[in-house]
Chains A and B, each alone.
Chain A
């Protein structure tokens, strides 16, 4: 177990470099998970918005509209503001929409929102509906039949949430699981792709490599212990990240749901371990390792929908992301309410794992041959004093 011991010693020796990096990424994982925490209810809840109504004078139109919005559960703030100030409020995400009423009756009220988003459409549609219905209940003398208006406006379509019998958990619970486990997936990939190749690189430095190949230590055993060391790093990191994600999830998840998520996570961890070994064999340049780990982990997380829901990522990009296991890992978490829905994605990840292991073995052989050739023709003989 000399190689494994050396592996661990290298980690401990470089802990001052690894630990702050690790801690920062752990914090990042917790924050990503916390950002998507949701409620756990089986009852439909319409989207509630924080809106601002800006009007210089308190007239009946504005007050009726505000009353109706509040009756719909939206949080309404009355304040006088310019369009620029309203844009600032929306930018700061203090409100999702601003209704700007002008002084003159002839000018239409402005609904300020991101019109390309669902919330923007909803904000505009609500205002349009209200004013149209209000207009319909205008009496001949110009006044509004408010009682009838509000009676009609209170009519809502009945909504039920589909909960299949074999479902275990809630949709909002799934949103939390997807958010926190995606954060863990990104961080695990970033940490593993940085740490594994760096530690492996230390074993290929001149001197260490020559001593290793001339030592009476079986090559297979040496490789196995290197893999064991990598496995320990990845699985310990994965366990720590799973624990941190659990802090976010435990309110919204049942034990069996947690079990399914854990199985999916295990399949993903295996893939990460294999990718880490591929990168270890691909390059031994420290700067390149840092670059690859950052670009690959962040890029893959963006295109696979780890930070934003997959439906928000463009179709063509999602097609590319299907070439990597993270896409299937996230999709399995999204389908984690029903075990049968997860199985195909978990199996796909296991296939990726098998392929990656194969690639890593091939690369290991090629990398080993290349090094052996270079060393035997140049420095090895003199290094060992022959």
Chain B
């Protein structure tokens, strides 16, 4: 046990001394999350009024000015056309009753909807009926489905797997044919299983602490609460960290590629998985969901990010147990496979 503890302390010490590990585990996630929150913080505000021009003499001109959703610009003729083509306004309500727009987006649809509604309203009054604008007909329930929540949960899913780098490092400390340090260690009476297990435990602890730190950072600094269900979230983070390290162990042990190849490979692979999960905006995630649904079902970043979102934003435990079990079992399988690759063997030369 003492040997195990000393190996754990050694692993933790080496991780803290390795500037590269510290950067990828702590500084990079904070930098990226901060950038994301700052970049998308504008998305979280209310839907902005839609800029529109109304030609003089339009029958609904005065009504348009009273609608909060519209930002009516008092321009006409060529000036209005210029604004439309420069994308400073989304449409022009022409005096002939036609709405002129640039394309078929949501803003243009809302403009048409407002124009159509006013046309309908005048028909209703012309038919001798009246509309009750004081009465509320629907209750609006909000769903925090904004881009910020999707991208942040996908990023958290990615960072939760950054234990990968610890996993790769453990192997590079143990496999004699991978690094000079490992070659020296292989000549010492060090217990391989104790060293790997200690590395695994310290790696899981550090990776979990890093993810929890990020969750607190988002909650306290940016007021994005992904800790509404702390215990289940903690369990998920532990399972994710274990799985991340297991992938690192497996990729580290299964081939002879140098560290300089395995680190960028991990970074790129995780970027790809997190992009599929929505880190680079919802369109790509939707494309994957529609065309390759199986990919995102078993995409570990997506499994983690969705579960974090479900637990803390929707308050749902759907797929929680299933995802934890999948991550844990897959992690165990990868660890066993890695140990097989790392079993004692003799090298002709090093």
Contact = CB atoms under 8 A, between A and B. Distances in A.
Given A162-B102, A290-B264, A24 B272 contact: yes
B131 interface: yes
Nearest to A156: B116
A108 B104 contact: no
Contacts of B135: 132, 135
Given A31-B284, A87-B143, A109-B138, A302 B35 contact: yes
A199 interface: no
Contacts of B62: none
Interface string A213-250: 00000000000000000000000000000000000000
A161 B39 CA distance: 31
A28 B271 contact: yes
A302 B36 contact: yes
Nearest to B126: A152
B263 A290 contact: yes
B109 A47 contact: yes
Contact of B116 (A20, A136, A157, A307): A157
B120 to A, nearest CB: 5
Interface in B297-346: 306, 309-310, 313-316, 318
Contacts of B44: 116
Contact of B137 (A108, A118, A152, A312): A108
Contacts of B41: 314
User: What size tier do the contact residues of chain B reach?
Assistant: 35 or more
Interface stretch (A2-10, A293-301, A355-363): A293-301
Contact of A17 (B35, B264, B309, B314): B264
Interface residues of A, number: 93
A153 interface: yes
Contacts of B23: 287, 291
A148 interface: yes
B113 A314 contact: no
B140 A155 contact: no
A137 B129 contact: yes
Interface string A155-188: 1111111101000001110010001000000000
Interface string B267-307: 11101100110001111111111010000000000000010
Interface string A72-87: 0000000000011001
Interface in A76-100: 83-84, 87-88, 90-93, 100
A313 B310 contact: no
Given A118-B107, A299-B35, A17 B45 contact: no
Interface in A247-298: 286-287, 290-291, 294-295, 298
Contact of B85 (A113, A116, A162, A307): A162
A89 to B, nearest CB: 10
Contacts of B84: 162
A111 B39 CA distance: 29
A46 interface: yes
A110 interface: yes
A108 B137 CA distance: 6
A117 B47 contact: yes
B138 A128 contact: yes
B221 interface: no
B123 A158 contact: no
B105 A47 contact: yes
Q: Which of A92, A164, A291 has the most CB of B within 10 A?
A: A291
Contact of A111 (B28, B138, B288, B316): B138
B119 A155 contact: yes
A291 to B, nearest CB: 5
A25 B269 CA distance: 9
A127 B137 contact: yes
A45 interface: yes
Given A17-B258, A93-B282, A100-B141, A152 B85 contact: no
A368 interface: no
Nearest to A24: B268
Contact of B99 (A100, A125, A160, A302): A160
A159 B47 contact: no
A21 interface: yes
Interface string A19-31: 0110011011001
A315 B123 CA distance: 41
A129 interface: yes
Interface string A25-55: 1011001101110000100111100000000
B14 interface: no
A164 B103 CA distance: 12
B19 A308 contact: no
A207 to B, nearest CB: 18
Contact of B264 (A131, A170, A194): A194
B198 interface: no
A133 B124 CA distance: 8
Nearest to B130: A136
Contacts of A83: 141
Which 9 A-B residue pairs are closest in the complex by CB-CB distance?
A314-B42, A171-B103, A118-B106, A17-B261, A157-B115, A35-B283, A35-B284, A131-B137, A287-B20
17 contacts: A16-B261, A28-B268, A36-B283, A41-B104, A44-B101, A84-B315, A84-B316, A113-B140, A113-B143, A114-B142, A125-B110, A135-B135, A161-B101, A171-B104, A298-B35, A314-B42, A315-B42
Given A31-B276, A136-B129, 19 more contacts: A17-B258, A17-B261, A28-B272, A31-B275, A47-B104, A47-B105, A83-B141, A84-B315, A90-B145, A157-B112, A157-B115, A160-B98, A162-B85, A171-B103, A298-B35, A298-B271, A299-B32, A312-B43, A312-B147
